Amino acid sequence: MWNLLHAWWQMMPKEKRTLVNADAAIRQAREDIGFLAILPAQASQAVLKTYFQAWKNCWDGRADAPNFKGRFRTVMSVDVPQGRDLNIVRVHRRWGMANIPKIGRIRFRWTKDLPVGKHGNAENRITGARLVKDPLGWHIAFRVQTLEVTPEPHQGPEVGIDVGITVPIALSDGETYGHGEWLTDREKAKLLRLERRAAQRKRHRKPGEQASRRLHRTYDQIAGLRAKAKRRALDWQHQTTTAIACAYGTVVVEALTIANMVRSGRGTIEEPGQNVAQKSGLNRSISGEAWGGTVVMLAYKTARHGGTLHKVPAAGTSLRCSACGLTTPGSWESQAVFVCKNPDCGWSGNADHNAALNVLHLYRMGLALIPAAGRAVVRRAKRVKPAAAR
């Protein structure tokens, strides 16, 4: 449904891309296409609302433009759009019960207070739910509608952020946020053993032969360990971005083109690349840190706390001295130490702290990027002459 809606959006002229026309197109598609008619009408409307919300997030600069979704790159999920049909009851301190259409009564882990019973009213109520499946099993997420007070402008200080691999997040005030390995030594040993077992079983499979159940079971165990590591990384990411959004009123980050940074260095047959293995390892490390997800979380969390998020050009922030402003290549004495090559300056310090200071300095100079029709535009601040020179 999402992909058909996105294809319709691209084919329509701009003046016809409205919610009413999209709703009419979905109704017509449900009449013409048999498998779309099986999907409940409320679920189709939920897809439509989600799609339009994705465009609103793009226009507000909080996310990229929506695109087609791949079956194997998308988490399997099912919407339950009617909250009144759930009949949620808390039966234990840790467990609750809910009704799911066409499934029946299910039990779920109670991890957060929900507006049910005396806590639910017209202003604070559950409007629906979503069933999500990942390698660790099925999960249910409830959609809650509540009234929130518009936050007051955050009075916290300004801070620049530099993201990296050795030091995941470094702030301009000297604070750093790091993490360890997402899997324990025992879990990593188990993952290696499972990967070797899967490779061995795959080697004995003949070309065109269907994979055995043992191989599928091994793949499921591998996916479970990787999902566990991903969940721990996401938890750290949420806690870190929440702490930053609560402590600072203005957060400045680099406008990184991550897709270009993780591009393969293999090259072509005529011009093969160099250090391909090292570049592949660097690409995996960059993808594992999920810098783009960190920026997305900071965008909506700073707005929720009354702060603002700004992006500045990323070119030269690691090579520029934060003390004198001179940009010279080869200023790193090591991976973590920056030494200015200007003989009149000679400043030295932590390289990540230096880059974060440069990021904050670009914002204070007025070189912030503002989203405009899907592209970044540099906004320069006007220089104001002193009163004596006017």
- The string of pLDDT tens digits covering residues 301-349 is 998 889 999 988 888 888 888 888 878 776 655 567 888 877 788 778 8
For residues 56 and 177, membership in a common domain is answered with no
Q: Strand pairing of 104-109 and 250-255?
A: unpaired
For residues 263 and 323, membership in a common domain is answered with yes
* Length of the chain in terms of residues written: 390
For residues 61 and 84, membership in a common domain is answered with no
**pLDDT for the residue 383:** 40
**pLDDT for the residue 196:** 94
189 vs 62: which has the higher pLDDT: 189
**pLDDT for the residue 372:** 41
Given 40, 71, 102, the domain boundary residue is 71
For residues 370 and 255, membership in a common domain is answered with yes
Question: Global pTM?
Answer: 0.75
**pLDDT for the residue 120:** 65
pLDDT at 97 over 90: yes
**pLDDT for the residue 186:** 95
**pLDDT for the residue 262:** 75
What average pLDDT does the segment 216-227 reach?
92
For residues 162 and 301, membership in a common domain is answered with yes
pLDDT at 108 over 70: yes
User: Dmax of the chain from CA atoms?
Assistant: 85
- Angle at alpha carbon of residue 102, lines to 96 and 103, rounded to 5°: 40
Q: Is 369 contained in some domain?
A: yes
For residues 123 and 37, membership in a common domain is answered with no
pLDDT at 183 over 80: yes
239 vs 37: which has the higher pLDDT: 239
What average pLDDT does the segment 146-152 reach?
84
The domain in which residue 105 lies consists of 78-145
Question: What's the number of domains the chain is made of?
Answer: 3
**pLDDT for the residue 375:** 42
**pLDDT for the residue 334:** 59
**pLDDT for the residue 206:** 79
Strand intervals (E) in the chain: 76-80, 89-90, 95-100, 104-109, 125-134, 137-145, 158-163, 169-171, 176-177, 250-255, 308-313, 337-339, 348-350, 368-372, 375-379
Given 29, 52, 71, the domain boundary residue is 71
For residues 30 and 139, membership in a common domain is answered with no
Report the C-alpha gap between 46 and 43 in whole angstroms.
5
* Average pLDDT of the chain, as a whole number: 83
For residues 174 and 250, membership in a common domain is answered with yes
**pLDDT for the residue 268:** 66
- Angle at alpha carbon of residue 87, lines to 86 and 91, rounded to 5°: 120
Report the C-alpha gap between 78 and 138 in whole angstroms.
11
Select the highest-mean-pLDDT range: 114-123, 164-173, 326-335, 372-381.
164-173
pLDDT at 236 over 90: yes
**pLDDT for the residue 330:** 62
For residues 55 and 107, membership in a common domain is answered with no
* pLDDT tens string 251-276: 999 888 877 777 777 776 667 777 77
Q: Strand pairing of 104-109 and 176-177?
A: unpaired
**pLDDT for the residue 241:** 94
**pLDDT for the residue 370:** 59
For residues 140 and 166, membership in a common domain is answered with no
What average pLDDT does the segment 75-101 reach?
85
Given 71, 104, 122, the domain boundary residue is 71
**Category of 267 on φ-ψ map: left (φ > 0), alpha (ψ -120 to 50) or beta:** left
Select the highest-mean-pLDDT range: 31-45, 118-132, 227-241.
227-241
**pLDDT for the residue 365:** 85
Quick one: pLDDT band at residue 283, thresholds 50, 70, 90? confident
**pLDDT for the residue 187:** 95
Quick one: pLDDT band at residue 385, thresholds 50, 70, 90? very low
Q: Is 19 contained in some domain?
A: yes
For residues 242 and 335, membership in a common domain is answered with yes
**pLDDT for the residue 384:** 38
Burial class (CB in 10 A: 0-12, 13-18, 19+), 51: middle
